[in-house]
């Protein structure tokens, strides 16, 4: 993966501030969804985020609603990956299913600052940042396969094709 | 070493003995979706299959914006009704039924030992009846519709032992807020919660639903009550199909055991903007608010509306506040109507809304303006959830919201009960 600029946030970044509930049945188009990413946490984010940027956050990122747009709006906004101390479980699934890589590393989060450039290497399980290189546990194969297919819809298409289901 | 409820249910589905931490591929018994069914049907269309694999497993309940408030929402509902027709889905509940978690429960789908997945985070609710139920995302629902398969990680379990009985003015909501406040919003992330202990037999099913519903706010994958005679008596009347209760073994392995005594509990309030920012009412009394909300899938059942009516009977709400009543379902609304409870609430000056989600997620019917504060019986108080990002939400029990409605500021309900 390429280097990406870091946007840094705190603990418990919830689905309502990532993608407000009032939009969940109104906005369907990727470009429209991207325009409202993180709207209630950081109103300047959507206008300034660049393709390949990386979000770094604290504990329980994505807690709250099951809304998948919380993951997809970040992907559509160009976010390359989210690094957090921990992820809420449904957000974690949604991110994988949308093909948005999620990385858990408390050490990396503690040592990375807003605005610096970091690189996430999934094959070696390493985050390269200004203050050093931080290792993370690779995702299990079953999960990586979904990410590599580009998300669950693409993965299921392959499954249906191969399985004849 | 024995097995937990979650290990047993997922093991039975996977056809092998499993331990917490394993990833299994399973077929659910039911899959729930609501107004998001339109978006899910678009994802389903991308998969290139024409028909869903098991239409009888699909439950669709329209509840988020009911009746439709704009043309866009109306179109959304229309797409769903056409999809239901085309796919031959018989378990469809249109806008007049209520909030999905209450409707699914009262309709007898929430059964012991069943695996129920839903595109809604509060799908954890059905553990009140001894089901394994968890929230999933939209793409996952589309994928399950097509393949009847999904991967799940077998969760570790945290046991929560409840003892004692509620003191005057305290309820299930106060207990679960206390637990979440002490343990934190991510304490049970990826984990199961098992509510047990001597206090459980005295908890009504409506109160168990409060615990299981709010398990999601502790990050839990699912919440569980072992089905007892109270649950089984209800299910005798309502169960849609056969079921087999599943119980944890006495020597099952738990990640932690937490103990709570209900008898020493005070009324609790979750303060903005996280559900685990919980304080006893004595620390927040006197805070003014603009809108009260009594209802939702957390606290909109007959017993919740009744306690509110008991406090508001022959009184008027404070002129500086407005109070919305949002019954959990039409059935619960009708029960309250027939007992004169709705009349008491309306006489007091409350606005009675159609049963649905509306204001709880800031979709319609009671949006907050900048600078406004809500006191709500819902399950979530995230920034901006009920409207403006410059508004605030406090969470409490129906008794606390009703007592506060009389004074216009957060008030200890024990003064009125």
Tell me the ipTM for this assembly: 0.85
CB A63 within 8 A of CB A91: yes
Residues on chain B touching A32 (C-beta within 8 angstroms): none
**Is A90 within 8 Å of B73 when comparing Cβ atoms?**
no
Q: Where are the domains of chain B?
A: 5-260, 268-415
The angle at the Cα of A63, spanning A83 to B39, to the nearest 5 degrees, equals 100
pLDDT of residue B35: 96
* Statement: residue A64 has pLDDT above 60: yes
Q: Considering only CA atoms, give the Rg of chain B.
A: 21
pLDDT of residue A162: 84
Q: Which residue from B minimizes the CA distance to A59?
A: B186
Confidence of residue A158 (pLDDT cuts 50, 70, 90): very high
Q: How would you classify the pairing of strands A117-121 and A4-8? A: antiparallel
Q: Which residues contact B85 (CB under 8 A, 6 or more apart)?
A: none
**Is A160 within 8 Å of B147 when comparing Cβ atoms?**
yes
Residue of B220, B273, B267, B250 lying closest to B384 (CA atoms): B273
Per-residue pLDDT of chain B (417 residues; tens, 9 = 90+): 899 999 999 999 999 999 998 889 999 999 999 999 999 999 999 999 999 999 999 999 999 999 999 999 999 999 999 999 999 999 999 999 999 999 999 999 999 999 999 999 999 999 999 999 999 999 999 999 999 999 999 999 999 999 999 999 999 999 999 999 999 999 999 999 999 999 999 999 999 999 999 999 999 999 999 999 999 999 999 999 999 999 999 999 999 999 999 999 999 999 999 999 999 999 999 999 999 999 999 999 999 999 999 999 999 999 999 999 999 999 999 999 999 999 999 999 999 999 999 999 999 999 999 999 999 999 999 999 999 999 999 999 999 999 999 999 999 999 999
Q: Which helix (H) or strand (E) holds B211?
A: helix B205-214
A10 burial type by CB count under 10 A (0-12 exposed, 13-18 middle, 19+ buried): exposed
Interface test with B, best of A9, A10, A11, A12 (most B CBs within 10 A): A12
Residues on chain A touching B49 (C-beta within 8 angstroms): 160
Of A20, A153, A159, the CB nearest to B139: A153
**Is B143 within 8 Å of A153 when comparing Cβ atoms?**
yes
Residues on chain B touching A14 (C-beta within 8 angstroms): 274, 382-383
pLDDT of residue B369: 97
CA-CA-CA-CA torsion sign (B393, B396, B402, B408): negative
Q: Which CATH class is domain B268-415?
A: alpha beta
CB B104 within 8 A of CB B57: no
| Residue A96, min C-alpha distance to chain B (Å) | 10
B61 forms beta bridges with: B93
pLDDT by residue (tens digit) across A67-106? Answer: 999 999 999 999 999 999 999 999 999 999 999 999 999 9
pLDDT of residue A23: 87
Q: Which residue from A minimizes the CA distance to B220?
A: A89
Rounded-to-integer distance, Cα A49 and Cα A47, Å:
6
CA-CA-CA-CA torsion sign (B368, A71, B117, B72): positive
Residues on chain A touching B121 (C-beta within 8 angstroms): 64-66, 90
pLDDT of residue A142: 79
List, as ranges, residues 81-100 from A with C-beta within 8 Å of B. 86-90, 93-94, 97-98
Give the mean model confidence (pLDDT) for residues A125-129: 94
Interface test with A, best of B116, B137, B145 (most A CBs within 10 A): B137
DSSP string for residues in B227-248 = --HHHHHHHHHH-SS-------
Strands (E), B296-379: 322-326, 351-352, 373-376
**Is B361 within 8 Å of A22 when comparing Cβ atoms?**
yes
pLDDT of residue B34: 98
CB A19 within 8 A of CB A46: no
B295 phi-psi bin (left φ>0, alpha ψ -120 to 50, beta other): left
pLDDT of residue A138: 80
* Statement: residue A107 has pLDDT above 80: yes
Domains B5-260 and B268-415 belong to one CATH topology: yes
| Residue B8, min C-alpha distance to chain A (Å) | 21
Residue of B188, B358, B310 lying closest to A21 (CA atoms): B358
**Is B135 within 8 Å of A66 when comparing Cβ atoms?**
yes
pLDDT of residue A164: 54
Percent of chain A surpassing pLDDT 90: 76
Rounded-to-integer distance, Cα A48 and Cα B377, Å:
37
- Integer angstrom CA distances of residue B285 from A16, B267, B313, B324: 27, 11, 22, 21
Give residue for tokens 């501030």. A17
Q: Considering only CA atoms, give the Rg of chain A.
A: 15
Q: What CATH topology corresponds to A4-163?
A: Aconitase; domain 4 (3.20.19)
Neighbours of A44 (CB within 10 A): 9
What is the side-by-side order of every strand in the sheet holding A126-129? Answer: A102-104, A81-84, A54-57, A4-8, A117-121, A126-129, A132-135
Domain B5-260, CATH homologous superfamily name and number? Aconitase, domain 3 (3.30.499.10)
Per DSSP, A30 falls in state H
């Amino acid at each position: 993966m390429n280097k990406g600029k870091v946007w840094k946030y705190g603990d418990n970044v919830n689905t309502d501030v990532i993608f407000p509930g009032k939009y969940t049945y109104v906005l369907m188009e990727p470009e429209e969804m991207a325009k409202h990413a993180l709207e209630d946490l950081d109103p300047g984010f959507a206008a300034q985020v660049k393709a390949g940027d990386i979000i770094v956050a604290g504990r329980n990122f994505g807690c709250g609603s099951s809304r998948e747009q919380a993951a997809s709006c970040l992907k559509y906004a160009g976010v390359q990956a989210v690094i957090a101390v921990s992820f809420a479980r449904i957000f974690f699934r949604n991110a994988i299913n949308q093909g948005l890589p999620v990385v858990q590393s408390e050490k990396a989060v503690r040592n990375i600052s807003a605005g610096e450039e970091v690189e996430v290497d999934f094959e070696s399980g390493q985050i390269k940042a200004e203050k050093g290189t931080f290792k993370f546990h690779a995702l299990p194969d079953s999960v990586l396969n979904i990410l590599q297919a580009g998300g669950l819809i693409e993965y299921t298409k392959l499954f249906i094709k191969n399985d004849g289901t | 070493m024995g097995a937990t409820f979650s290990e047993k249910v997922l093991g039975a589905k996977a056809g092998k003995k499993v331990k917490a931490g394993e990833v299994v591929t399973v077929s659910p018994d039911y899959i729930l979706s609501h107004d998001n069914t339109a978006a899910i049907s678009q994802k389903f269309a991308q998969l290139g299959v024409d028909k869903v694999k098991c239409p009888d497993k699909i439950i669709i309940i329209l509840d988020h914006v009911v009746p439709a408030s704009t043309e866009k929402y109306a179109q959304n509902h229309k797409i769903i009704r056409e999809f239901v027709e085309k796919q031959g889905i018989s378990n469809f509940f249109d806008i007049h039924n209520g909030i999905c978690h209450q409707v699914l429960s009262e309709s007898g789908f929430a059964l012991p030992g069943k695996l129920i997945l839903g595109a809604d985070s509060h799908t954890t609710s059905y553990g009140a009846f001894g089901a394994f139920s968890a929230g999933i995302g939209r793409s996952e629902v589309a994928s399950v519709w097509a393949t009847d398969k999904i991967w799940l990680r077998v969760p570790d379990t945290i046991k929560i032992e409840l003892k004692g009985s509620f003191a005057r003015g305290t309820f299930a909501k106060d207990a679960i807020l206390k637990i979440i406040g002490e343990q934190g919003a991510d304490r049970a992330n990826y984990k199961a919660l098992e509510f047990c202990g001597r206090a459980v037999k005295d908890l009504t099913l409506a109160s168990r639903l409060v615990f299981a519903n709010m398990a999601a706010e502790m990050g839990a994958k699912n919440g569980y009550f072992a089905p007892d005679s109270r649950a089984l008596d209800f299910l005798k009347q309502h169960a849609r199909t056969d079921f087999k209760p599943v119980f944890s073994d006495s020597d099952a392995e738990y990640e932690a055991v937490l103990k709570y005594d209900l008898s020493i509990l005070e009324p609790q309030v979750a303060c903005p903007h996280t559900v685990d920012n919980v304080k006893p009412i004595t620390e927040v009394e006197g805070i003014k608010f603009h809108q009260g909300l009594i209802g939702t899938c957390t606290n909109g059942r007959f017993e919740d509306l009744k306690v509110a009516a008991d406090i508001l009977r022959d009184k008027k709400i404070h002129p500086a506040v407005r109070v919305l009543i949002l019954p959990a379902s039409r059935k619960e609304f009708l029960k309250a109507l027939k007992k004169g409870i709705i009349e008491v609430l309306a006489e007091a000056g409350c606005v009675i809304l159609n049963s649905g989600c509306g204001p709880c997620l800031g979709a319609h019917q009671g949006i907050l303006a900048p600078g406004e504060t809500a006191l709500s019986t819902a399950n979530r108080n995230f920034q901006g959830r009920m409207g403006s990002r410059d508004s605030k939400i406090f969470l409490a029990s129906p008794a606390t919201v009703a007592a506060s409605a009389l004074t216009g500021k957060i008030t200890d309900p024990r003064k009125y009960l």
